[in-house]
Structure 1
Amino acid sequence: MPPSLLRAANPSQIPGEPGVWFLFRGGELLLKEGAPVQGSAQELSRLEPTLVLHLGQLEGTPMLAAELPPEASLEGLTSVGLRAAFSLGEPLYGLAGYAQQALYWARTSAFCGTCGHANGPVGRDLARTCPNCGQATYPRVSPAVLVLIHHEDRVLLAQKPGWGKRYSIIAGFVDPQESLEECVRRETREEVGLEVGEIRYLASQPWPFPHQLMVAFSAKWVGGALKLEEEELQDARWFRWDELPELPPPISLSRQVIDGWAKRQRERWGARASGG
């Protein structure tokens, strides 16, 4: 298990000792020789960051996030999209996602949503408190479900417009006053017209684009015929475990869930074929 971050009590207080920096410019992560930049706040000041946060400590080393202006010099640095930075591995990739979400929150919460007054600085738990009306706000997290619908040796995969040949499992955001299981049933009924049972939790994944929490379930088909919500999907069909189409990249929880299901089916049906 990778080491975990000890969150900073005051993210706005930047330590003076050298640390690991997750630098972003225009939404892209900046790396030096394939890794986050290391150095002190004083050394990084030459890049003139517009926003700096102390994320916390990882095994005694400060982890920091900074947003750079468009005109910042990138000499010696390479720019990559966060999705393309998966090779960082854990815990660095997870910290890069946390850094991006923390910066996004700090940038978009400058004013109180209740009275419009300028908010206070980012504090414990990344909260901001309005000095005018006292309203405390926290980073937005948007829960969404992923649903692997299965029936015997087949899985239901859907395709959205613009995906090319790629297919994935059903997904949707959780509504207010709705449980995750209720969301699974609703999204399945709305998007593909099916009824499901035996809903089982599989895994979750933070998805910093910009602030989702993906929660994956498997659900057994129990009735209904395919009927697409055409505003959301352009195709949906059943695939055998050994005839899967082009899938999402391995970084995504949806792909990991599909791969896990296919592996179990391979073991199950392979054993039957061999007489086991």
Structure 2
Amino acid sequence: MPRFAANLSMMYNEHDFLDRFAAASADGFQGVEYLFPYTYDAAELRRRLDDHGLVQVLFNAPAGAWESGERGMAALPGREAEMRLGVDRALEYAGVLGCPRVHLMAGLVRPDATPAERAKHRDTYLTNLAWAAERAAAAGVDILIEPINGRDMPGYFLSTQAEAHAVVQEVGASHLKVQLDLYHCQIVEGDLTTTLRRDLPTGRVGHLQIAGVPDRGEPDQGEFNVRHLLDVVDELGFDGWVGCEYRPRAGTSEGLGWLHAYRSHRAESARG
């Protein structure tokens, strides 16, 4: 059965951030993820994990001036030194938190970029990812890249699963993997069942995320058939985590009916 991680950047906003660990644990989550840990001391975050029996499964490397609209630097020529410092900082936190995955964001590209400019962005991306994956390998950490839909994040450099898998294959680093967010994938490409059956067996997918489409609420409403998709994930033997990266439509705990229903469904299936 899939293991679920609460995304504390989107979920449990009823609580102060450091109190969200306890709330997630109380609702039965075993793992947590979030955007960035850097506002907090790593040792304090580790205490929250240990106190509530949680595993840190993912966070992002520093992504530039986030509040000003930047969304990563890995594909931006001229930002290499800043990107490398950010990866090193992320790996320091990962070591303290026992986190085996770090998402390295690519960044935004101008919509009028010429083919030559886009090629330069891609070359920069490949070089930076190769460096980051080698650095992360020494720490036993995977670097993840994630295609993101252009409706939520216009101009993001990486948008399709095919692009992401081509990058991972071209870099050829064992510690570089794809973060498959089924919410983004449904918006950009659809055909989620086929995508899962095609890509999970390759071993290149290091993390899954889910949310309802089109509103990014709980995954049991809209065009996202969460029970079917999780059954496919389970059938394929994916042993990673499923991050619940959605914005609850009301209270977080009150909106977890989908998760309780799925666990009951799996328990009934196991009993035959």
Report the TM-score range of the alignment, normalised by the length of the smaller protein. Answer: under 0.3
Kindly name which structure, 1 or 2, has the bigger radius of gyration based on alpha carbons: 1
Higher normalized helix content (fraction of residues): 2
After TM superposition, the score normalised by the length of structure 1 is 0.24
* Greater RCO, 1 or 2 (C-alpha within 8 Å, sep 6+): 2
Higher normalized strand content (fraction of residues): 1
After TM superposition, the score normalised by the length of structure 2 is 0.24
